[in-house]
Chain A
Amino acid sequence: MAEKTYKWVGTRQPRPDGADKVTGRARFGADFDMPGQLVGKVLRSPHAHANIRSIDTSKAEALPGVKAVMTSADMPDMPDEMAPAGEVMVNLRDVTRNVMAREKALYDGHAVAAVAATTEAIARQALALIEVDYEVLPHVIDVDQAVAEGAPILHENLRTKNVDGAEDTLTNVAARIQFTKGDMDSGWSQADVVIEHAFTTKPVHQGYIEPHAAVASTTEDGQVQLWCSTQGQFNVRGYCAKLLGMETSQIRVTPSEIGGGFGGKTVVYGEPLAIKLSQKAGKPVKIVMTREEVFRGSGPTAAGAMDVKLGATKDGRIVAADLNIRMQAGAFPGAPVGPACMCSFACYDIDNINVVGFDVVSNRPKVAAYRAPGSPVAAWGVESAINMLAEKLGMDQLELRIKNAAREGTKTHYGPTFKDIGMAATLDAAKNSPHYQTPLKPGQGRGVAVGFWFNIGMDSSAACHVGEDGTVTLISGSPDIGGSRASLALMAAEELGVDYQKIRPIVADTASIGFNFLTGGSRVTFATGMAVVQAVREAIDELRARAAKLWEVDVEAVIWEDGCAKPAGSNVGDFEPLSLAEIAVNAGKTGGPINGHAQLNAQGAGPGFGAQIYDVSVDQDTGHVTVDRCTVVQDVGTAIHPDYVEGQLQGGVVQGIGWALNEEYIYNDKGQLENTGFLDYRMPVASDLPMIEPIIVEVPNPNHPYGVRGVGEVPIVPPMAAIGNAIAGATGIRMTDLPMSPPKLSAAIDAARVSEAADD
């Protein structure tokens, strides 16, 4: 592989927002206030499933200090219409019902009304005065129970998509999808060894530390300003305009600094309510969720139940693979079952594949995206089964994966044929890692798993403004969730040939830059990066034109090198190089301001593959698992800013460790969520963990000027299965249901002891 050398790309520079963020100066969603603003609060359903017969808000309205009360009656109903949100498509009829319940409350925590009052205490009092007449209905939480005959039906109008004859059947199954490749019968007939098993996952929350927050300010002439914490200000604008029957140009959304999102801040909750309340009250309204509201009212990831079947020849060639996966969408259709099905076997070159997925509604908050939506759920089953196959074949778990790895030319079961991918390089790096070469200590188990994410492109706009002193403002519309401003500035510095510190990247509001699709799917450094490079190149062309004008030569005779305009050759004339600053200071005399703009739909996202290795110890009495060592290997294309690439890898891994070992939603028999705080929804803390060793593999994406693929999604795909595989190595026990929490694992260990004793 020809190594390109860069001056700025690949270096570890301080981030532009660093000083603001270590001093408390950075303004996150809840840190923004408007003069005279009211406090908005949301009333939430205590029932998992109930008809709403009526809502009486009169007492709340009469309370002094209450300035507005709203229910779904204040928003127009929506037709069935699909719109993109994150990596999933959503139906606006559903979105308006999720934002505020209409005929039915569909989950514990479902918003049913909202108030705006002069103080928080009055707002809370007002909520208590709203009388909702509920008719409580039977509910269903579990995905397989929701599919079962006689299950409570959430939506009378729901029919299963893609199934013939489903038109007349009430159901909770919103859609069935299928991907096939090859011929299953011939696959199974070639198999010497077959593995078949069922697996389940629990829904988990993204767990961003910053709760959702929004401030809306509206004017009498119909203009709206909204400040909020979001992964996509343009998506918020689009949603709010649709839900409130407004035009997008009437709504200006300014994204605050964002305190984590991981996919969960790609949709709207309080934003349209704040706007509506502000319109009714004639004053700015601020809505900040409590942590309890985040858990009860915002979207977790989908859970899944699945059956996996694999067949292989004696020498370890996988010849057939089957997956049937049911995914829990929450109260409205839209589980990431498509990506789950597509990612499931994408790491492997298998001739015969059959994947069937179901999108199932149940009485839980509507799911939102969470890092590589769908892929980790499928990987839990598939990657566990791969190890079961390795055990049966007596093969090394990594060797089996290397033998079957997807390579250049592998045709996926969902369509595309891979080119230029790094699966094999990633597995080799894992095999040669210091970690894999180190023998286990007594009692430890080692687990490996791999993961895949497409990475996405989509729409981005960027602008590059050259100041009169030759410094540059770089404007994008992609909220910076993990250091992307630094990466964008590095690429701009590389293009311009100027010091990174001379470039100031900012994230603009919806009125100050062209459309940008949201930050998600690992697209920003790839797609917005492409727009930035293109905008900078346009500015460079203008800089060359100005130098040409000053030198009175053709623009083709001027090149841009090391931050200066230079003559293309000695025949052009004897001109001293003109620096960016020298050209900028004369801009007024040579034609006016010097800017570059770009807008594009980024094509050619490079698929990302990763492999992870875990060593664990298991306390045989308590079932407590300790991760002793963890290595994360991933092909990222090019690491523009290695620190933030490593950070994405480490952060994704640790979220995966939480998903594997602890995190779950606990419901009581009324369908109410019982663990609505961080004490009981236990995410990993510093003392639970070892250092996370990153190994960055760089197989450049040929479709990006700097070879970027994207980083943030893949790291959360392998951990659950890799840890399950490590636990199997340490204990001989195969866990099939997440999380592998101490009570579950110790019960499994006890059961194994009993059956061993019985065998003796």
Chain B
Amino acid sequence: MAKNHVTTTINGEPVEFLCETHETMLDVLRNDLGLTGSKEGCGSGDCGACSVMVDGRLACACLMLGAEAEGRSIETIEGMAAGEELHPLQKNFVKEAALQCGICTPGVLVAAKALLERNPDPTETEVRYWLAGNLCRCTGYDKIIRAVMDTAAEMRAN
């Protein structure tokens, strides 16, 4: 069967790719486009390690087909830092040790950024529920929640 030709935007850049119909967006990102920052923890929408933004909405790349990227705008962890300048969330995750192994970190960061964009002043409970789709087995979430809250406060102040 012929492959699908897809024209899309990834992290602000126009991108074209060919994919099989059954290929997920996560497969395309990781295997075809070399964007391995999005991780596969489950492939079934349960862990959030593959979190990306699709037209401004948080999505699991493992639950989306590559062909569905046609005409859309995708943002991944690779697009979060502005050049040399880390996003405040990225900075604070390092500063406050909000990661141990780091496999969940790209997904957590993408999801946390999406939260702060729609709610710059979340309560701890709101952060916990928003990130409930992102599994982390290492940290017990404590430092992740703190880093997100601290970043929100910092971004509000600036």
Contacts and interface: CB of A to CB of B under 8 A. Distances in A.
Contact of A23 (B30, B80, B104): B80
Interface string A670-690: 000000011100010111010
12 contacts: A25-B37, A26-B102, A208-B103, A209-B103, A291-B42, A481-B101, A647-B143, A677-B44, A685-B134, A686-B128, A687-B131, A692-B142
Interface of A: 12, 14-15, 17-19, 21-28, 30-31, 121, 206-211, 257-262, 290-291, 481-483, 643-644, 646-648, 650-655, 677-679, 683, 685-687, 689, 691-692
Contact of B101 (A24, A121, A258): A258
Given A18-B94, A643-B143, A689-B128, 5 more contacts: A23-B77, A30-B39, A258-B101, A483-B100, A650-B142
Cβ-closest 6 pairs across A and B? A24-B37, A259-B103, A21-B102, A650-B140, A18-B94, A643-B97
B53 interface: no
Interface string B138-152: 111111111000000
Interface in B21-37: 22, 30, 35-37
Contacts of B125: 687
A692 B136 CA distance: 15
Interface of B: prevailing SS: loop
Contacts of A27: 36
B108 to A, nearest CB: 9
A651 B49 CA distance: 18
B135 interface: yes
A21 B140 contact: no
Contacts of B122: none
Contacts of B30: 30-31
A242 to B, nearest CB: 28
A30 B43 CA distance: 13
Contacts, number: 178
Contacts of A481: 100-101
A678 B139 CA distance: 17
Contacts of B127: 686
Interface of A: prevailing SS: loop
A211 B46 CA distance: 14
B40 A211 contact: yes
A209 B42 CA distance: 8
A518 to B, nearest CB: 15
Instruction: Identify the interface centre among B20, B41, B105, B137: most chain A CB within 10 Å of its CB.
Output: B137
A210 B128 contact: no
Given A260-B103, A291-B43, A482 B138 contact: yes
Interface in B52-111: 76-78, 80-81, 86, 90, 93-97, 99-106, 109
A611 to B, nearest CB: 17
Given A21-B102, A686-B141, A643 B96 contact: yes
Contact of B138 (A25, A647, A678, A679): A647
Contacts of A689: 128, 140-142
Contacts of B105: 21-22
Interface of B: 20, 22, 30, 35-44, 46-47, 49, 76-78, 80-81, 86, 90, 93-97, 99-106, 109, 125, 127-129, 131-146
B136 A24 contact: no
Contacts of A648: 100
Given A291-B41, A650-B142, A678-B42, A210 B103 contact: yes
Given A211-B40, A651-B139, A687 B100 contact: no
B81 to A, nearest CB: 6
Contact of B46 (A482, A647, A678): A678
B77 A24 contact: yes
B67 to A, nearest CB: 16
Given A686-B134, A692-B142, A19 B94 contact: yes
Contacts of A290: 43
A695 to B, nearest CB: 14
A687 B128 contact: yes
A261 B102 CA distance: 12
Contacts of B100: 260, 481-483, 644, 647-648, 651
A17 B141 contact: no
Contacts of B139: 647, 650-651, 654
Contact of A257 (B35, B80, B102): B102
A651 B39 contact: no
B138 A24 contact: no
A207 to B, nearest CB: 5
Contact of B109 (A22, A206, A652): A22
A121 B93 CA distance: 38
A12 B98 CA distance: 12
Contacts of A655: 137
A555 B157 CA distance: 56
Contacts of B80: 23
Given A22-B109, A643-B96, A260 B128 contact: no
Contact of A15 (B42, B97, B145): B97
A261 B44 CA distance: 21
A644 B100 CA distance: 8
A23 B79 CA distance: 8
Contact of B94 (A15, A25, A646, A651): A15
Nearest to A677: B44
A30 B40 contact: yes
Nearest to B41: A209
A347 B41 CA distance: 37
B42 to A, nearest CB: 4
Nearest to B133: A685
Given A12-B97, A15-B97, A210-B41, A685 B135 contact: yes
B101 A259 contact: yes
A630 B94 CA distance: 25
A475 B127 CA distance: 39
